[in-house]
Amino acid sequence: MVAGALDGVRVLDLSRVLAGPWASQTLADLGAEVLKIEHPRSGDDTRGWGPPWVGRPEDGVSAYFASTNRNKRSIAIDLQRTEGRALVQRLAASADVVLENFKVGGAAKLGLDYPTLSAVNPRLIYASITGFGQTGPDADHPGYDFVIQGLSGLMSLTGDEEPTKVGVALTDVLTGLYAAVGVLAALQERERSGLGQYLDVALFDVTVASMANQSLNYLASGVAPERMGNAHPNIVPYQCFATADGYLTLGVGNDGQFARLAALVGRPDWATDPRYATNAARVGHRDALIPQLDGIFATRRTEDWLEALSEEGIPAGAVQDLSEAFGSPQAVSRGLRQSLTRADGSQVPTVASPLRLSRTPATARTAPPRLGEHSREVLREVLGVDDAELERLIAAGVVRD
């Protein structure tokens, strides 16, 4: 197999649930070696977040856990035990990156904080992921995606009448991606300085920053944007329309596309109507234009509209469920659905990384691990722990096999 872009980079992952594991899986897909430290009894919280399960429920691999923990080795160590913490400190001494999402101050209580670990390993890059960051009046508050979606303003923009969360834990996913980007930047800088550094990544910060034009709409105008359902605050028409048999999405991004749309729906006069000729005018007169388009789109089937819109080069698409999305010719052609083989020969489904590098491609190599599956292997390989000592640690409950 071709070496990944991050081949030779070792990541010690002390995080759990989604944001941190998403960051480490992203790095793992790019070739990094990820050592996932888990509690010997419960493991990552998401192991029990089923059904559905991948394999037997007693294997402790929920579909949720499997979505974000491929390409990792699981080492089950009790961090409440002095010997357990000492093992992790030794692992950190040989690591390039540490990822953690303890509450603020939690890592320091365990002796696994950046000042402690970097004193032994000055090249260490250490990323802390929390709900609100290491500073500020809310720093000590726990951070959950759903809560952050509300506090950040995201839910105020999503839905129709009632504030609505995004259908996946997008705040966690985005935070994981930002954390991975920060780690990559720190690795690059280390090539110049020879030193690691500390990353403070907060779900709240990430969500506010990721609202892009909506955040700037507020900063530029002083007016907080409101929920608009599927409509766009700055572009018209750019939303979902009901057809005779379903729904379609329509994204008219410029005035030339709108002129072609106007001709297609039998209203070429709209292209020169001062209320609709420019996007700015359409934004100001959306309440007059959209009901007319509603009536027109309701007269034909989705498939018919999509064929006609495609011929005119107007961006549009069907509203598909996941079964339809994964079964689409595009998804099949891109190989988005993949399968990983466990040691026992069973198969685990996974989704391909969207990162397509020409020489060092991102890869899905190993299935999400069972709890402690690699404890013996890693402690022997990385720390040189012999069999007698391993047996003693396992018998004492410090390590789980």
Name the residues annotated as catalytic. 172
For 286, list phi and psi in degrees, rounded to 5: -60, -35
CB 271 within 8 A of CB 277: yes
Torsion of CA 288, 292, 297, 298, to 10 degrees: 120
Provide the 10 A C-beta neighbour count for residue 194.
9
